[in-house]
Amino acid sequence: MSGTFVGMPAFPEAARDAVHDQTLRGNLRHATHTIRAKRAQAVAELPDWAALREAGRRIKDHTLRHLDRYLVQLEGAVTAAGGTVHWAADAEEANRIVAGLVRQTGEREVVKVKSMATQEIGLNEALEAEGIRAYETDLAELIVQLGQDRPSHILVPAIHRNRGEIRDIFRSEMKRWGRPAPDGLTDTPAELAEAARLHLREKFLRARVGISGANFMVAETGTLVVVESEGNGRMCLTLPETLISVVGIEKIVPTWRDLEVFLQTLPRSSTAERMNPYTSMWTGTTAGDGPRTFHLVLLDNGRTDTLADEVGRQALRCIRCSACLNVCPVYERAGGHAYGSVYPGPIGAILSPQLRGTASEIDASLPYASSLCGACYEVCPVAIDIPEVLVHLRERVAEGGPVTRRGNKVVLRPARGHAAERAAMRAARWAFTHPRVLRTGQRLVSGTRRFHPRTLPGPGRAWSGTRDLPAVPAEPFRDWWQRTHGRTDGEGAAK
């Protein structure tokens, strides 16, 4: 399946189906509340959490401002360490590069570390079209792959599945992909984990090509970093003869000292751990240790366009911790699939429309997939003001662009479905700049208040179907002020 899910219905329609799935809502409620509570406890252990959060924000902002310089520095360091750097402007180019590198090895299968960048570009599907099978080795990603499903969470892609569903998937699907599930497999966590371990072990030992992403890249040394909790990453990064890493260009940090900040904030914000069980770092190639060949594919795919937006660029600070998903009331009820992207939840609502544009129905609706409660901003370890970006993107959609790209050009399109909103805003602006007109309108509305409906008619019913219209006061404020404080002039100032 495509990692971008373009072609899905708009968020409101997709979410409407999701909220009626009682099993899905129960799975999400249990998982998000559990992770949320553990994260809060882990964060509270650090007296300098606010300072770490601010440091992370500043490091990311500094890096983004000087991204061109750090990318060149990274390329030089990786090359000097024996690696090869490739530049990919978009998903098509990245897939072509990776498929070509795998074909050069003569292999027809690869093992993968969980990588959102490769999901973003649909790499598995591109490799399959070339006759190359990619095996996911992260437990949650394995569940998604075996179930022919889509990820629904950044940290826990199979969060929408319960143990019974996972048992059934293992029993029916493992045999089609390799070693079958043990006879009599139950839904106990230990047995499920053991079944996955046995299934994956033969793939680790057989594979000659590994594909990874990276949580961070250190510009000064050319070092890549993957943090994970299961050990599958360590196997994929050390056993294959060839390692190919596909990484978004925003994942750079300038120095090792900068990396130290994120190795404190990421595990606490994601898995609620003081540190990750497995933190793997590699720099190029080393004779007799690890892969003999290393390729780094630096992926743009809309990131430089996002960088050009002074408000929206803060989305590129994201370290993929998923804390914003676990506190979001919208995500908890709608689930990740409704977002139509490998980046679900609040961060997906601001990242996907910038990386892909808002030409599709689903992308144009994502900035509205939020109550703007601000909980996501409060927990973000790099202080991304997601509500601010959501409002900014809503304005972009309402104004009609920029919405998509053709080559290196940004293409504008007239907004659809927002003509009435724009007309209302223009009328309000005119009324507010003509006090006498405004006062007459206020008196007219107050005088007819008994005839006002509680909900809007026609298209407005979608908004007021779940909320009453505000009650109109018996008299305008200006009239009340005049009656209680004396006369006012035409501009409303007391005399």
Helices (H), 45-66: 49-65
334 vs 265: CA distance, rounded Å? 27
pLDDT at residue 39, rounded to an integer:
94
Strand pairing partners for 253? 218
Cα distance between residue 456 and residue 470, in whole Å:
11
For residue 173, give Cα distances in angstroms to 102, 135, 154, 179.
26, 13, 24, 10
Locate 406 and state its tokens: 């053709």
Residues whose CB is less than 8 angstroms from the CB of residue 472 and which lie 6 or more positions away in sequence, other chains included: 445, 446, 449, 452
Q: Buried (b) or exposed (e) across 400-429, using 16+ Cβ within 10 A? A: ebbbbeeeeeeeeeebeebeeeeeeeeeee
Cα angle at 228 between 109 and 39, to 5 degrees?
A: 145
pLDDT for residue 489 is more than 80? no
285 CB contacts (<8 Å, ≥6 apart)?
81, 82, 83, 291, 292, 293, 294
Q: Going edge to edge, which strands form the sheet with 133-136?
A: 84-88, 293-299, 242-248, 209-212, 109-112, 133-136
Per-residue pLDDT at 461: 73
pLDDT above 50 (res 2): no
Binning pLDDT at 50, 70 and 90, where does residue 178 land?
A: very high
Report the mean per-residue pLDDT for the chain.
Answer: 90
* Segment 302-327, tens digit of pLDDT: 999 999 999 999 999 999 999 999 99
For the cut 70, the answer to whether the pLDDT of residue 267 exceeds it is yes
Say which range, 276-290, 323-337, 471-485, has the weakest mean pLDDT: 471-485
Distance (Å, whole) CA 324 – CA 191: 31
Region of poorest pLDDT, from 217-231, 381-395, 412-426, 467-481 = 412-426
What proportions of the chain, in percent to the nearest 5, are helix, strand and coil?
55, 10, 35
The Cα 116–Cα 302 span in angstroms is 15
Q: How far apart are CA 374 and CA 386, in angstroms?
A: 8
* pLDDT given for residue 4 in this prediction: 46
**DSSP summary character for residue 131:** T
Cis, peptide link before residue 182, omega less than 30° from 0: no
For residue 425, the model assigns a pLDDT of 83
Provide mean pLDDT across the span 99-115. Answer: 96
Higher pLDDT, 72 or 464: 72
CA distance 33 to 334: 15
For 180-223, what is each residue's pLDDT tens digit?
Answer: 999 999 999 999 999 999 999 999 999 999 999 999 999 999 99
**Confidence at residue 488, expressed as pLDDT on a 0 to 100 scale:** 54
State which amino acid sits at residue 173: E
Residue 69, strand partner residues: none
- The whole-number pLDDT of residue 456 equals 78
Read off the pLDDT of residues 121-166 as tens digits, 9 standing for 90 and up.
999 999 999 999 999 999 999 999 999 999 999 988 998 999 999 9
Averaged pLDDT, 20-41:
90
Res. 407: pLDDT tops 80: no
For residue 374, how many other CB atoms are within 10 A of its CB?
A: 14
Q: Can you give the pLDDT at residue 423?
A: 82
Q: Does residue 407 contact residue 417 with C-beta atoms inside 8 Å?
A: no
Helices 345-356 and 386-399: angle between axes, nearest 10 degrees: 40
The answer to whether 284 touches 245, Cβ cutoff 8 Å, is: no
How far, in Å, CA of 273 to CA of 404, rounded?
39
Is the separation of the CB atoms in 281 and 225 below 8 Å?
A: yes
pLDDT at 238: 94
For position 408, what pLDDT does the model report?
47
CA dihedral 18, 176, 188, 333 (to 10 degrees): -10
User: How does residue 114 score in pLDDT terms, banded at 50, 70 and 90?
Assistant: confident
Mean pLDDT of 349-374: 93
What's the predicted TM-score (pTM) here?
Answer: 0.84
Q: 391 vs 361, 388, 395, 436, CA distance in Å?
A: 18, 5, 6, 31
Which residue type, as a one-letter code, is found at position 233? G
Question: Encoding tokens for residue 17?
Answer: 């189906």
Q: Which of 220, 226, 259 is nearest to 81 (CA)?
A: 220
Q: What is the rounded CA–CA span in Å between residue 394 and residue 495?
A: 42
pLDDT confidence of residue 455: 81
| CB 94, CB 301: distance < 8 Å | yes
- Cα–Cα dist 190/415, whole Å: 53
